[in-house]
Structure 1
């Protein structure tokens, strides 16, 4: 019913999981992660609390292979499918004998791909190949694997939801929860494509790509990003037009005044000779 990929980035230490399925809100059910500890995927008919238990075991220092072996010996989980990836890239997976065919898993150096009720035997090899060949950060590589799985047929029943979860290899602190990406598409005709769009939007926010945000951010905020983009490129007229559009809306003039100390807004004001 589900296909997923787990991976560790040896350069950054990041850990991540991407998943898609023909169920509502797969991001609620399958993936789980804890910064500095590991990531897991619990699929098929695994117990809902198993993900938390597996992460707890990782936090206690139990190797993934031991955790998977214990789960495999649990009689009530005969139709479960699980994958566990530790903070240093050690990985283990198991597909229970009761999982829906076509099903299985493939593991390699710092990664695992798994699925059940797949459209064909080509899904998992396609995911593993794409994950190994992909470039970019861990989130992008996981999305490449998910896309390859969908292109190879994905879930036999169709498409509905997808999720991406990436965490730091370092434990969370009060200053940093360690979450690098947490994106979900709960109900869509093409959830993997929608997830890629969300990832691109997140990148635009993270990298302050105001040109992109001026087009794809929520409509109410586009003028703000248009002003910031114009400021970056030194386009005084475009900045003035965007700023005037914001000031004409109820509440925005007061918001701009309150944000006068923000260096981004200040740059727009200076460009227009207002600061």
Structure 2
């Protein structure tokens, strides 16, 4: 019913999971993560609270392999599947003997792919190969694996939802909650593609890619990003026109005035002064 990948970035220490399924809001059901502790995938007919229990075990210092053995031994329902990843990159997975065919898991160095009720036996090998070959940061490698699984057939029943969750390898603090990315597509005909679009939009926000945001941000904010983009490339008239459009929107002039100290807006605002 579901296919997923869990992995740790050996450079940053970040940990993450990407998952897709033909159920509504898979991001609510399968992934669990805690900064500085680990990431868990709970799939098939595993108890919904098992992710919390497994994270608790990781927080106490129990190895993923031990936690997986305990969960497998205690399982009353053989139609279940789990994967557990710790901050040191150790990972373990288990697929119950009664899980829906095609089912299974593949474990590598710091990563694991798993799935059940798959359309093809090629789904998991394709995911593993794509993750190993992918370039870029952890979110991009996770998405590469998820896309490869979908291209190989994905969920036998079809497509509906997908999610991407990345957390820090360090515990959360007052200044940093440790969540690097938390994106979800709850209901879509092509959720993996939609998830990639959200990833690209998140990248634009993080990297202050104003040209991209001027096209794809919510309509009400596009003129603002257009002004910032024009200012960055030295287009004085373009920045002036875009900012004038922003100020014509009800309530935005007062907001701009309140943001006068923001370094991103100060240079642009001076164009109208």
Q: TM-score, normalised by structure 1?
A: 0.98
Alignment length (residue pairs)? 273
Q: What corresponds to 2:232 in structure 1? A: 232
Q: What corresponds to 1:247 in structure 2? A: 247
Superposition deviation, residue 75 in structure 1: 3.6
Q: Deviations over 1:103-156 (max 9, x none)?
A: 000001000000000000000000000000000000000000000000000000
Please state whether the residue corresponding to 1:256 is helix, strand or coil. Answer: helix
* Alpha-carbon separation, structure 1, partners of 2:260 and 2:162: 40
Q: What corresponds to 2:62 in structure 1? A: 62
Alignment of 1:246-265 (within 5 A): 246-265=246-265
Q: What corresponds to 1:21 in structure 2? A: 21
Please state whether the residue corresponding to 2:7 is helix, strand or coil. Answer: strand
CA contact (8 A) 1:32 1:40 kept: yes
* Alpha-carbon separation, structure 2, partners of 1:32 and 1:267: 43
**2:110 is the counterpart of 1:102:** no
Q: What corresponds to 2:116 in structure 1? A: 116
CA contact (8 A) 1:30 1:42 kept: yes
Q: What corresponds to 2:79 in structure 1? A: 79
Q: TM-score, normalised by structure 2?
A: 0.99
Q: What corresponds to 1:194 in structure 2? A: 194
Cα pair distance change 1:263/1:75, threshold 3 Å: closer
* Alpha-carbon separation, structure 1, partners of 2:75 and 2:179: 34
* Alpha-carbon separation, structure 1, partners of 2:75 and 2:92: 19
Q: Deviations over 1:50-84 (max 9, x none)?
A: 00000000000000000000010124131110000
Please state whether the residue corresponding to 1:114 is helix, strand or coil. Answer: strand
RMSD: 0.7
CA contact (8 A) 2:79 2:98 kept: yes
Moved more, 261-270 or 91-100: 261-270
* Alpha-carbon separation, structure 1, partners of 2:119 and 2:255: 52
CA contact (8 A) 1:71 1:77 kept: no
Alignment of 1:3-42 (within 5 A): 3-42=3-42
* Alpha-carbon separation, structure 1, partners of 2:190 and 2:66: 36
Gaps of 5+ in 1: none
Runs of 4+ in 1 over 4 A off after TM superposition: none
Q: What corresponds to 1:43 in structure 2? A: 43
